[in-house]
């Protein structure tokens, strides 16, 4: 994958994070409910954060080349 294509993916992920962690979306999950004793807002924030870390890791993985080593 070309470097400019990777940087475009990273920018899109940053914009997604900005939108996902903005007040309107966080307000949806800011309810007095819990899952297994953990507030839903905390689960949402942690899930978005882990997803972003996973995407960044996937974007920055080196490409595997099928070229024979010489």
**Domain ranges across the chain:** 3-60
Q: State the angle between helix axes of 3-20 and 40-60 in degrees (0 to 180), rounded to the nearest 10.
A: 170
Confirm if 60 and 6 have CB atoms less than 8 A apart: yes
How much is the pLDDT for 35? 95
Question: Tens digit of pLDDT for each residue in 8-25?
Answer: 888 888 999 999 999 998
Residue 1's pLDDT is: 56
Q: How far apart are the first and last CA of the chain?
A: 22
Predicted pLDDT of residue 49: 95
What is the pTM (predicted TM-score) of this model?
Answer: 0.76
Length, in residues, of the chain:
70
Per residue in 21-61, pLDDT (tens digit) is 999 989 999 999 999 999 999 999 999 999 999 988 988 88
> What is the residue whose two structure tokens read 């099928």?
66
């Amino acid at each position: 994958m070309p470097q400019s294509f990777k940087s475009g993916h990273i920018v899109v992920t940053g914009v997604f994070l900005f939108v996902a962690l903005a007040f309107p979306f966080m307000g949806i999950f800011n309810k007095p409910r819990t899952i297994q004793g953990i507030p839903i807002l905390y689960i949402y924030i942690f899930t978005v954060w882990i997803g972003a870390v996973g995407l960044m890791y996937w974007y920055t993985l080196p490409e595997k080349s099928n070229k024979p080593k010489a």
